Structure 1
Amino acid sequence: MGQSWVKTETAGCDLGDERLNRRLGAILEALGERPGKSLPTAFQDWSNTKAAYRFFSNGNVSEHRILEGHFAASALRIQATSGPILILQDTTEFNFKRASPEKIGFTHVSTGQKLKDGRRKKHVVCGFQMHASLAITPDGLPLGLTAAKFWSRAAFKGTAALKRKINPTRVPIEQKESMRWLDNLRLSTELAGSPERCVHVGDRESDIYELYCLAEEHGTGFLVRSCVDRLAEDGGTTIAKVMAEVQASGTHEVRFRDAQGKEHCAVLSVRYAKMTVCPPIGKQRKYRHQELQIIHAEELNPPEDRAPLFWKLITNLPVGCHAEAVNKLEWYALRWKIETFFRTLKTGCRIEELRLATADRLANCIALCCVVTWRVTWLAMLSRKTPAADPAAVFTADERYLLDQATPERKQHAPRDLEFYVRAVARLGGYLDRASDAPPGTTVIWRGFSRLVDLVEGARLARPPTGTCG
């Protein structure tokens, strides 16, 4: 893939030492060429592998400083686009098995297979969480991460016990893990530079009243799925009671796949209304009431073999007609893109197979893998949205030549555009490329890149040395 993308994603990084900056670029390039491979396989020899280990353990290196360049590049891509920017927020957890789990952080004790004496084998699982914000366009093209936070649950030890003693709504937001949603909203809005263009999208875990107020303070938008039936209007009723009296504005059809990959089609009845939403009882003196739009989309005639779809969305964006309500439903459906990002990060880069010993070293490596994951996801979507784009912006001349040679004869007539070469890479990763197949996804693309770099290296070694004859 060349080094141009590596320079773009690391140009804004300053680790305080030019040697560290160069090593950062070299490590990112190696991981990008062989995503999913072990660190020794990615770096090819002991000296480079040892240099990478030293880099990850260096006290001047942190996940935030590693991602600074990528955040800056994401901001440039946001500024180069027009229209709304959807900023998807979500949390994922990384679990590891270690002989010394205290070096990473405890998560839980796992019960395994039954032993000969009838007891269950138990082992301590350690790990930490990452909360990320991914900026995408309304047609699904990922522009990059805008914020990321790594932490261990130990930092919030005692919060659950505190909630059992007092009303959870009275616990200050600063003492909760939920604070990460507010932090990422603020950081992402500042990075984008155009708060009025940003729409922060989150699942039910982001249904936080403080987030509504922070979005108003920064002049930015939000679209979250509700999990709380909040007080509404003058406080004498609730959102659910008000929405029960609202007539449906129309229907909306959605298509999705279940956990087994089976495709489904659901017809949703759509209702929307504008109302005053009240803060929680314990915080009514601190926060003012909000004028928000409520959208309910409930499935009509759901099948018996699965749970019916019922989306309850809250937003501060204008919703004045059925088309605008459907538009917000379509935006919320794109939240799945960050789930795909996390899946590619975990399975494609095989994060949970890393053998680094401490949480800091793991976080540094994961930060680099986040950039690689974005690159693969971006390329998969770019080939769908702009298939006729110039492939020279992504592939080197040697890579294009080798992909041409690896293309089956029945595919040779296709134009040599970006889609052609992305499909060629995907075929190296196991993509069948039949007429009825969906466009290639991230899994076959990152597998294909691992094979492509070996083809490039083999071709380089097969060339006669410069200055020799025959």
Structure 2
Amino acid sequence: MRLTRFLRNRNVSPGEMAAHAAERLGLRCADRHVLAIQDTTVVKSSGGGGLYLHVCAAVDADDGTLLGLAHARFLKREEGRKGQRRALPTVAKESQRWLEGADDAARACRSAREITIVADRESDIYAAFAQRPAQAHMIVRAAQDRSLEDGGRLFATADALPEAGRTRLDLPAKPGRPARQTTLAARFSRIELKRPKNSVDEGLPESLSLHLVDLREVDPPSGETIHWRLITTYPVADLREALQVGELYRRRWAIEQLFRTMKTQGFDIEGLRIEDDVPRCNLVMAALIAAVTVQQLVHARDGGGAKGRLRPVSDAFEEADIPLLEALCATLEGKTQRQKNPHPKGSLAYAAWVCARLGGWTGYYGKPGPVVMLQGWLQFQAAKQGVNAITASQVV
């Protein structure tokens, strides 16, 4: 009943929750190279339309640490809108979400040393490159075979580039595919994109000077090929810089893992039976924010991040949570060394060990994943509620 009242409270909104989460990013981003990774996921499908959630997550470029949420907003898609799309300016299209996400990320992560906006093919929008935040770079996977200033086309230009070198790539396992190692051939070039003829946006330049990085698999197995055509604002003058762009794009996997934690491998938002959009959106936004915490715990389980720096517990917990974490840790530690928490108090790794043990991890076999961390985090929240209830009763 209490949760229902919260979700239907007029003073509760997804926008406020997302804004509060973004406010907490400042200190975490300080003096870091931050990747603002954007993507959109389905919340509720209804044939050709439905309810969608657009997210921009902040990730440490050096070690892949999920720092927090920079932007999140819901959008509804309806059938029959494709025919009108070309006649509308970007600000009136769903495409505007990519520009808004970039702007919000630049504000939330303004203390960062460097910001790079990373996104997949749906964000291949001329206006997004032209109107990117001044302090941010972009890496986007190309979707459109765009016209170039020299009269050529983007894809044909990429195909004609000489191979600059090769690199080995480890691919993690996914449903239907075992983990494997492959070889990628790298190509790169400076390009001049022409403004699309059908663009009705005002004030866009007639061309944009960018760089293309083409990474494609050599001798791929039947039925599967890796081919990334990446458009970037970074200057790319040699093979090393081209491969660096590819490595930054690979970090985009962090947002896929975040969505998996929200869905069947975690909070199972697809299974919600709430028909009213207001409480549904409030609950999904709360699940997204909690999923960020779960992923932070998963990443912290091994200890050090970039340059061996441990993330502080304040990334995912409140200062008042520390005594409870330490009390629970004392009850969870066993007699053997492998059953002792190896991480220093006050670190996120310390809290991750506690949550993993609460979630059923023994300390002996494998590494705790999102499901175990989620169960442990829920156990911690239940313990916290119990302590708060006891404290309140003692005060009365």
Task: Give the TM bin, normalised by the shorter chain.
Answer: 0.7 to 0.9
Match of 2:70 among 142, 146, 149: 146
How far apart, in 1, do the equivalents of 2:7 and 2:293 lie? 21
SS in 1 for 2:106: helix
Check 1:195–1:421 CA distance in 2 against 1; reply closer, same or farther (3 A cut). Answer: closer
| Preserved contact between residue 106 and residue 135 of structure 2 (Cα < 8 Å) | no
Equivalent residue pairs, number: 376
1:35 aligned partner: none
| Preserved contact between residue 188 and residue 214 of structure 2 (Cα < 8 Å) | yes
Listed as ranges, the gaps of 5+ residues in structure 2 are none
Q: How does 1:401-420 map to 2 (within 5 A)?
A: 401-410=327-336, 411-412=338-339, 415-417=342-344, 419=349
1:302 aligned partner: 220
| Preserved contact between residue 40 and residue 54 of structure 2 (Cα < 8 Å) | yes
1:93 aligned partner: 42
The percent of aligned pairs where both chains have the same amino acid is 26
Letter aligned with residue 136 of structure 1: V
| Preserved contact between residue 341 and residue 377 of structure 1 (Cα < 8 Å) | yes
Deviation by residue 1:245-273 (Cα, 9 ceiling, x = unmatched): 32222112221223236212111001111
1:354 aligned partner: 272
SS in 2 for 1:301: coil
The worse-fitting range, judged by mean Cα deviation, of 425-434 and 320-329 is 425-434
SS in 2 for 1:152: strand
TM-score, structure 1 as length reference: 0.71
Matched, 1:72 2:23: yes
Q: How does 1:379-418 map to 2 (within 5 A)?
A: 379-386=297-304, 389=310, 396-410=322-336, 411-412=338-339, 415-417=342-344
Q: How does 1:193-212 map to 2 (within 5 A)?
A: 193=110, 197-212=114-129
SS in 2 for 1:281: coil
Q: How does 1:45-194 map to 2 (within 5 A)?
A: 49-50=1-2, 52-78=3-29, 80=30, 82-95=31-44, 107-108=46-47, 127-138=50-61, 139-154=63-78, 158-162=80-84, 168=86, 170-193=87-110
Letter aligned with residue 52 of structure 2: Q
SS in 2 for 1:283: coil
Deviation by residue 1:105-131 (Cα, 9 ceiling, x = unmatched): x7229xxxxxxxxxxxxxxxx951110
2:370 aligned partner: 442
> Post-superposition shift, 1:193?
2.6
How far apart, in 1, do the equivalents of 2:340 and 2:97 lie? 51
> Post-superposition shift, 1:294?
0.2
Check 1:385–1:200 CA distance in 2 against 1; reply closer, same or farther (3 A cut). Answer: farther
| Preserved contact between residue 196 and residue 220 of structure 1 (Cα < 8 Å) | no
> Post-superposition shift, 1:390?
8.8
Q: How does 1:220-299 map to 2 (within 5 A)?
A: 220-234=136-150, 236-256=151-171, 257-260=173-176, 262-283=178-199, 286-299=204-217
Check 1:352–1:292 CA distance in 2 against 1; reply closer, same or farther (3 A cut). Answer: same
TM-score, structure 2 as length reference: 0.84
> Post-superposition shift, 1:378?
1.6
Greater relative contact order (CA < 8 Å, ≥ 6 in sequence): 1
How far apart, in 2, do the equivalents of 1:416 and 1:290 lie? 49
SS in 2 for 1:132: strand
How far apart, in 2, do the equivalents of 1:141 and 1:402 lie? 25
Letter aligned with residue 332 of structure 2: A
Letter aligned with residue 449 of structure 1: W
Check 1:90–1:385 CA distance in 2 against 1; reply closer, same or farther (3 A cut). Answer: farther
Letter aligned with residue 426 of structure 1: A
How far apart, in 1, do the equivalents of 2:388 and 2:110 lie? 44
| Preserved contact between residue 333 and residue 340 of structure 2 (Cα < 8 Å) | no
The worse-fitting range, judged by mean Cα deviation, of 338-347 and 188-197 is 188-197
SS in 1 for 2:19: helix
Check 1:298–1:56 CA distance in 2 against 1; reply closer, same or farther (3 A cut). Answer: same
Match of 2:258 among 294, 318, 341: 341
> Post-superposition shift, 1:177?
1.7
The worse-fitting range, judged by mean Cα deviation, of 197-206 and 342-351 is 342-351
Matched, 1:422 2:371: no
| Preserved contact between residue 195 and residue 220 of structure 1 (Cα < 8 Å) | no
2:290 aligned partner: 372
Check 1:244–1:399 CA distance in 2 against 1; reply closer, same or farther (3 A cut). Answer: closer
Letter aligned with residue 191 of structure 1: A
| Preserved contact between residue 128 and residue 151 of structure 1 (Cα < 8 Å) | yes
> Post-superposition shift, 1:427?
3.8
Letter aligned with residue 221 of structure 2: P
| Preserved contact between residue 75 and residue 146 of structure 1 (Cα < 8 Å) | no
Letter aligned with residue 152 of structure 1: K
> Post-superposition shift, 1:225?
0.3
SS in 2 for 1:252: strand
Letter aligned with residue 60 of structure 1: N
How far apart, in 1, do the equivalents of 2:18 and 2:311 lie? 28
Deviation by residue 1:260-309 (Cα, 9 ceiling, x = unmatched): 362121110011111211122223995320111100011112122x4111
How far apart, in 2, do the equivalents of 1:58 and 1:148 lie? 20
How far apart, in 2, do the equivalents of 1:54 and 1:420 lie? 34
